[in-house]
Amino acid sequence: MLTLIPQWFIRYKFFNSLLLGLSVGAIFSIYTPLEPSVYSLGGVALAVGMLLIARLYIHILNAQWFFRISLLVEIVLLLIMCYFLLDPYTYQTALIVYVGYQMTFVFGNYLVRVETLLLGEDILLTRLDTAKQMGYLMGMAGAYLFYRLMDHYGIVENQPQVYYLHFVLIAVEVIVIFLIINSFKRS
């Protein structure tokens, strides 16, 4: 049986939100080749996926499954970032990145519900949400500074800026995976 270690988990959520803040602007550049109908289909798949996950709550609302699914989500993100670096700005890459993100979003409601159940204390939930917002804000500010730095060095087009940002994203994602692994212990 696994037990959540709140101190490590809160650090994980900070870096997880930092990653989100850093990557938000980049996604729009990567998705450029996709037609609007892909987003509609993706939305339907997302809703159906979330519905299926909700039907499994009776089995997966525990620390063991929470760890497995959290780690799966982080590994999927790492893989799609690596794939983007290998073959950037093709239609296939845009579609794979979109599908990868949609797969991780399917677990969004589940992950929030379980983290609330596992932490369970007002003080810990306050620290968790504060860390998440601070991470997101720092990620957005970091992305802004990164793009300004690229401008300063003469890299002004969106595509190369987003490409170089992915090296930072992968480094942060490795930290995120390290932190999620350390957020649980066997009891």
Residue pLDDT, tens place only, 165-183:
999 999 999 999 999 999 9
DSSP class per residue in 44-110: HHHHHHHHHHHHTHHHH-SHHHHHHHHHHHHHHHHHHHHHHHHSTT-HHHHHHHHHHHHHHHTTHHH
Per the CB < 8 A criterion, the answer to whether 184 and 64 are in contact is no
Section 93-119 average pLDDT: 96
Name every residue whose Cβ is closer than 8 Å to that of residue 111 and which is 6 or more positions away in sequence.
66, 69, 70, 73
3-class SS at 162?
Answer: helix
Query: In the prediction, which pLDDT does 30 show?
Result: 96
40-63 tens-digit pLDDT: 999 999 999 999 999 999 999 999
Section 10-36 average pLDDT: 96
pLDDT beyond 90 at 64: yes
Query: In the prediction, which pLDDT does 55 show?
Result: 97
pLDDT beyond 90 at 187: no
Task: Report the phi/psi class of residue 168: left, alpha or beta, with left for phi > 0 and alpha for psi in -120 to 50.
Answer: alpha
